[in-house]
Structure 1
């Protein structure tokens, strides 16, 4: 690997500086050397070492504005904003046309949520800088903090006009387009950008994603192909191309693209999972399970991997194996609602009703308030003879679904079974008002109650 001359000089400065620290023998460094040493430490998150270098640097160069600006940067990072502000005021008196002073002052204002004033100062910095791209990017970020996506987009575009290799600005432009749901406009902008930068793999990748969102899969495929032509090692383009090929039901080709990503870098759980899904759709069950197993081995916390294995066995009606893998998933993450829903469903199929009830109860406790969860839990509680718990559960459901007839019919049936005719009548009338046709629920679940004369008379009133 070759370093350019500047990199070699920086590395030499850092090595010489660290050697000095070890020997306690103070050597002289010019201010530029100190700046590169401090930048090195800041970029690597070594704040204490950066502070030490700033202190030594200022002891040798007490009037260096750039070293003091780096001191401001550290003060802002440490949230010592008043001290940073005072130092900036002193520096402004010395160099009123130094753009970095305005940038750091804007940074302080941004931290204080005064984004409009920060933008004002960044705009002033533009008149003093030779590098407008970075400042436009900072202005764009301030607008993002204010949720002003139109102005954010405009400034990130200005950044790209000044520096068309600033890919973070390109991503931010597309983020704004996406948030504003302007997919066609995004494509138009990207095509204009590609006219000037025809081999920009990031832009082709983003064009493909826009076409994917618009379900224009053939155009998306062409864009990802251009991204790969521009950079044959671009893993993201192969992954996205695989997703498109899946949509087009070209599963073998999708597998090929996912496999390329495994060769280019360490295996990702996403690629392994998608390969498994493709094999399952092709009917290659052994290969599907093999890849699902690799997925959960690669990333045991990825719920999609465990769910893929569980659902695979559920579709095969192999509920014992499905339960085995769901239990393994729950042991890893006992707070995952999706696991508990499957745990309940599988146990229900296996006629392990107490475990099924526990699963539905746990899903509700974790915030899964889907109507099916309430109804399934009720049906099991009633089967287990837990009438009070069943009623309590349905009353909780009513808080979320006050106008759901299925809940009301079930409550009516259970109250009649418990010979509480007043509450039974109240809920059956409520249910009939909500949806007469749904009284079939009463017939299916509470046949004896449905055939009572007094119940038939009430139903006939609403015919």
Structure 2
């Protein structure tokens, strides 16, 4: 019972100390304060970011205790807090020569070097500390060392240290999350999945392990197994909102939009409403064909964040589905104001402009997209479609030559477009030879082409090839 009241008692003592010192300064008096009390007072102000007050206490304290190493350390910490790292480091190194195993000096130096992006020097001091610190501090130090390796892009070393952290303290949740991040950076997702499965064998009630297992499985495309892992995480910790969000994402990827929507609703009851949640709910409703409800959620998203790009795009898609192309264009234009080079928006805007017969403007959007990403196959397809809609087949063939410089020449979708333009220009021999190859490589592609150009089968040469090659 006495231990339970100690933090409150210490807080009261600190408030009394603060009050006494500030009253003395306000009155312009000079009183005696115990050395340890003054150190505690400086630390109190440093923790709260009150650097000016910490400096004021230090100035007063050093007059009483000019030889104090502890106050010299506080002075270095104040300098570091003010961004004067170059001045702080020599003082700390000098103190270290007197107390080479002082934990606080090593920690202060390590943190200063980390802030200066001198991560190898930070690692030196963190590792020095590991050599003599107690087990409680080691739990934190392993994470500090791992983070410095991450800052250096040394993912393998970070993974090794994080495993050390878990051996020291298997319940270290920070280590579990950082391991997931490092395995992801290394592209070792299968190894991550195997690790979390092994960990769960020993610690089956770790919601963090189940959650990270779900994330690994989702990255591997094991969506059903990912949902199961998220369910276990939620079962253990039903207020852990990230598990709901990730479960909903996995269900959406499975095109299970109804269940995803319900999980998003559950998440709303646990967390401060996020614009992204409302937007994802709008997308689910859009896929379920509930366009009016979808629009409501997109608007709710924009009420929280007027610049949420995906919500503007979503409203544009809804307007396009309703064949209200002018409204769709307005929403896409708003999205482009937020991100002028957003590839999906440029592509959708070009598609809408094409539907409106504004082919030159559509081409301008596609040119802008392809200048940024010349390997964007869908943009090449749309640009060539746009030329073919204008019956500019010579230009379409030139574009196809350009496209094949950037995308695989084995693309049958572009190949069928090439056939259309060759055939339209009466280059029958070349067109029919290409068609023979395409029908062998991708017969279904011909069925898709016939949805746009059903009249192709009126030509007996095309029809006979089509019938002959039918699987």
How high is the TM-score relative to the length of structure 2?
Answer: 0.72
Q: Match for residue 245 of structure 1?
A: 251
Is the contact between residue 377 and residue 407 of structure 2 (CA under 8 Å) also seen in structure 1?
A: no
Query: Please, what is the CA RMSD of the aligned residues?
Result: 4.2
Matches within 5 A, 1:107-122: 107-110=111-114, 115-122=119-126
Q: Match for residue 103 of structure 1?
A: 107
Q: Match for residue 208 of structure 2?
A: 202
Is the contact between residue 72 and residue 87 of structure 1 (CA under 8 Å) also seen in structure 2?
A: yes
Secondary structure in 1 matching 2:132: coil
Q: Partners of 1:167 and 1:276 in 2: how far apart? A: 33
- Which of these residues, 328, 333, 336, is aligned with residue 334 of structure 2? 328
TM superposition shift of 1:82: 3.5
Q: Partners of 1:56 and 1:38 in 2: how far apart? A: 11
Q: Partners of 1:405 and 1:195 in 2: how far apart? A: 47
Secondary structure in 2 matching 1:71: helix
Is the contact between residue 139 and residue 169 of structure 2 (CA under 8 Å) also seen in structure 1?
A: yes
Matches within 5 A, 1:178-217: 178-191=184-197, 193-194=199-200, 198-217=204-223
Q: Match for residue 406 of structure 2?
A: 401
Matches within 5 A, 1:7-18: 7-14=11-18
Secondary structure in 1 matching 2:289: coil
Q: Does 1:147 align with 2:153?
A: yes
Matches within 5 A, 1:145-184: 145-164=151-170, 166-184=172-190
- Which of these residues, 73, 92, 97, is aligned with residue 96 of structure 2? 92
Which blocks of at least 5 consecutive residues in structure 1 are unaligned?
A: 410-434
TM superposition shift of 1:144: 1.9
CA-to-aligned-CA distance 1:338-361 (integer Å, 9 cap, x gap): 333322221111012343244335
Q: Partners of 1:223 and 1:360 in 2: how far apart? A: 42
Matches within 5 A, 1:271-350: 271-350=277-356
Secondary structure in 1 matching 2:133: coil
CA-to-aligned-CA distance 1:149-190 (integer Å, 9 cap, x gap): 222112223234444554333321221222233334334443
Q: Does 1:129 align with 2:133?
A: yes
User: Which sits farther off after the overlay, 219-228 or 158-167?
Assistant: 158-167
Q: Partners of 1:270 and 1:10 in 2: how far apart? A: 43
CA spacing shift, 1:8–1:211, aligned 2, 3 Å:
farther
Q: Match for residue 71 of structure 1?
A: 75
Is the contact between residue 248 and residue 264 of structure 2 (CA under 8 Å) also seen in structure 1?
A: yes
Q: Partners of 2:34 and 2:202 in 1: how far apart? A: 41
TM superposition shift of 1:257: 2.0
Secondary structure in 1 matching 2:269: helix
Aligned residues: 421
CA-to-aligned-CA distance 1:432-461 (integer Å, 9 cap, x gap): xxx9x976354356x37x59x9x99xx9xx
Is the contact between residue 279 and residue 297 of structure 2 (CA under 8 Å) also seen in structure 1?
A: yes
Q: Does 1:443 align with 2:422?
A: yes
- Which of these residues, 356, 364, 385, is aligned with residue 362 of structure 2? 356
Is the contact between residue 374 and residue 406 of structure 2 (CA under 8 Å) also seen in structure 1?
A: no
Is the contact between residue 375 and residue 406 of structure 2 (CA under 8 Å) also seen in structure 1?
A: no
User: Which sits farther off after the overlay, 363-372 or 96-105?
Assistant: 363-372
Q: Partners of 1:68 and 1:219 in 2: how far apart? A: 57
CA spacing shift, 1:16–1:156, aligned 2, 3 Å:
farther
Q: Match for residue 264 of structure 1?
A: 270
TM superposition shift of 1:332: 4.3
User: Which sits farther off after the overlay, 204-213 or 359-368?
Assistant: 359-368
Is the contact between residue 307 and residue 338 of structure 2 (CA under 8 Å) also seen in structure 1?
A: yes
Q: Partners of 1:286 and 1:72 in 2: how far apart? A: 61
Is the contact between residue 300 and residue 332 of structure 1 (CA under 8 Å) also seen in structure 2?
A: no
Which blocks of at least 5 consecutive residues in structure 2 are unaligned?
A: 435-471
CA-to-aligned-CA distance 1:237-278 (integer Å, 9 cap, x gap): 221222233345543332222112222232112221222222
Q: Partners of 1:157 and 1:214 in 2: how far apart? A: 22
Is the contact between residue 353 and residue 380 of structure 1 (CA under 8 Å) also seen in structure 2?
A: yes
